């Protein structure tokens, strides 16, 4: 099987698009509007990759309850420290850079406008190239 996309439901499509484009460098790939059914789907992807993040906006819906089952989306970067610094300086909510028990620091989390967590992972460390 081939992973295709992850869907997150958003309360403010424009705020979410700004976040995913500016903070995570994802680009809008395509948009499907269904005004009669009152929803819009926007697919975002990183340049050079097939996998997408789908933002689903249901007209007039307020904030969603995230529940305790959702974990996070993970994205890889070549320079973790530079990415972390840029996110902090831009004012995005981020955690400190962390590692798993007994392992070197290799990730941090950033939170989108709806409260979804996105894990930013060091590609060299994650892929075993450090």
pLDDT per residue over 16-71, tens digit each? Answer: 999 999 999 999 999 999 999 999 999 999 999 999 999 999 999 999 998 877 88
Number of domains in the chain: 2
Q: At CA 76, angle to CA 95 and CA 40, rounded to 5?
A: 85
The whole-model pTM stands at 0.86
**129, pLDDT greater than 60:** no
Residue 128's pLDDT is 62
Question: What span, in angstroms and rounded, lies between the C-alpha atoms of 47 and 97?
Answer: 25
Whether residue 109 is contained in a domain is answered as yes
Which one of the listed residues 22, 52, 78, 119 is annotated catalytic?
A: 119
17, 64 contact by CB (below 8 A):
no
Query: What is the average pLDDT value for the chain, to the nearest integer?
Result: 93
Range of the domain at 11: 1-60
Whether residue 67 is contained in a domain is answered as no
Whether residue 19 is contained in a domain is answered as yes
Alpha helices in 37-116 (DSSP H): 80-89
Question: What span, in angstroms and rounded, lies between the C-alpha atoms of 102 and 122?
Answer: 17
**52 belongs to the catalytic site:** no
């Amino acid at each position: 099987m081939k992973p295709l996309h992850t869907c997150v439901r958003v309360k403010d499509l424009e705020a979410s698009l700004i976040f995913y484009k500016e903070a995570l460098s994802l680009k809008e790939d395509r948009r499907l509007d269904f005004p009669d059914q009152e929803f819009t789907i926007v697919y975002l992807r990183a340049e050079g990759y097939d996998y997408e993040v789908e933002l689903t906006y249901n007209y007039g819906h307020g904030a969603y309850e995230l529940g305790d089952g959702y974990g996070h989306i993970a994205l890889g970067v070549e320079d973790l420290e530079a990415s972390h610094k840029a996110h902090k300086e831009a004012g995005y909510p981020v955690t400190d850079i962390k590692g798993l028990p007994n392992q070197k620091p290799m990730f941090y989390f950033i939170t989108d406008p709806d409260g979804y967590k996105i894990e930013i992972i060091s590609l060299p460390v994650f892929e075993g190239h450090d």
